[in-house]
Structure 1
C-alpha cells in the first residue's frame, strides 16, 4: 500500500465520524484496535472476506496482544512496534482463519487458510499519543478445504477402524506423504494422525452410550485398548474419564426421558 494511504488515515484521526465512514466504506478488510490491543471495530469488507456473520462475535472480545497463535507466525516484533507507534507491514502470512473462528465458537465447516499481506497504521492525536491501530489486510490467495484435504478426511472417516497409515491417507489424497502431511497441518491446524484419533474418540463416545457392552468392550469395538494411553487421551479430549462420560451421558438421557 502507498504511504499516502497512511497519511490520509492520520489526517482523519482527529475526526471520529469521518474516520469511521472512511473505514466502513474502504474496499479492503480493516480492523481497528485500541492501544491496549482490544479489537474495537471491523469493517464490512473484513466481515465479508473472512466470513464472519456479525461484528459482535469478535469486536470487544478479541485482544490481539493476547493471541497465542501470533508467535507461530513470527509477527510479534512487528506487532509490538506498531503498538509503539511505528507503521509496518508483514507479507505472505499463512493465517489459519478457521482457528480464530473456533476460538470464538463461530461455526466452521471447512479449513480456511489465507495468505495475507498485513499493514499496520498507528494513528495519533495532536499530542502524539496513540489513538488506535488500524490494520489493513490484503489477501494474496486462500485455500478453502482443498479437494486433497476433503479426500483425506473422507478416507479416514471411512477407514477409522483400521490401523492408521499416513501413506494410505496420502495416497487417497493423491499426494506424496511429506507434501500431504505439511498441507493437511497448514489447512486444518492438526496432523492427519490427530484428526484420525479425534474420529476414534467420537466413535468411542457413541459406543459408550451402549449400556449392553462394558467400557472395555466399547474400546475394543473402536480398535482401542482400554487401559493406558487411549483412556488418558479420552480424558484429555473430553475432560472426563470413560466411566464418568458414560454416567453423565446416561443421566442426561434419563433426564430428557423424564422431561418428555
Structure 2
C-alpha cells in the first residue's frame, strides 16, 4: 500500500512537471502574441492618422504651389495604395505594405522639402500646422515601429529556442513579421526633381536677370575700371600691375642697387 502511494506521488510529480514544461511556454507565447497585436494597433492608429492628414496637406500645397503637380500626384497615389493595403491586411504588416508606407514617408518628406522655396506656404498657418502634425505623427510611427519590432524579436526568438520551440510546433505558433523595409532602393533618400524646381515662380522671375558679383555691383569688383567718357572700353593694360621681371633692371637687383653700381 505504501509502495502504491509512492508510485502515485511520483506519477503526479512527473506528469505535473511535464505539464509545467508545456504550460509555462504556452502561456508565454500567448502573452507575447497579445503584446505584439497591441503594439501593432498603436502603430496602425498613427498610420491612419497620417492618412487623414495627407489629403489636407495636398490641397494646401496645391493652392499655393501648383507647379508641384507631379509630386502631389505621387503622394496621393501612395496614400491611396497604403489605405487599400491597410484595409486588406489581417491585423499585421506585410512586405508590400512596409514598402508602400516607407515610400509614402519619403514622398511626404520630399514634398515638404520642395515647397520650402514658396514664401506664401512658409507663412501659411494651415500649412505650418499640418507640417507640425505630420512631423509628430511620423515620430510616433517610428517609436511604435521600434516597440513593435522589439516584441516581434522576443516572440520569434522564443519560437526558435529549445525547448519552447516544441510547444510552438505543437500549438502552431508561427513567427511574426517585422515592420521594416529590406529593399535598399526604398531605404534611399528621395531625389529632388530639379526640372520641376526650375519651373517654380521664383525661377521664372529670375530668368533673364544678369548675374551679380558677390553682394555688391560691378563697380565694386576688384580690378574694374570705369569706361572713359568717349564710350570706349578701358585699356586692359592700364589696370595691369607692373611686373618687376620686365623692368630695365631685370635681375640686376633694385634701382638703388643699380645706382650704387653706377657710382662705383
Q: Above 0.5 in TM-score?
A: no
Q: Please, what TM-score do these two structures have when normalized by structure 2?
A: 0.25
Q: Which has the higher strand share?
A: 1
Q: Please, what TM-score do these two structures have when normalized by structure 1?
A: 0.25
Pick 1 or 2: higher relative contact order, CA cutoff 8 A, min separation 6. 2
Q: Radius of gyration: which is bigger?
A: 2
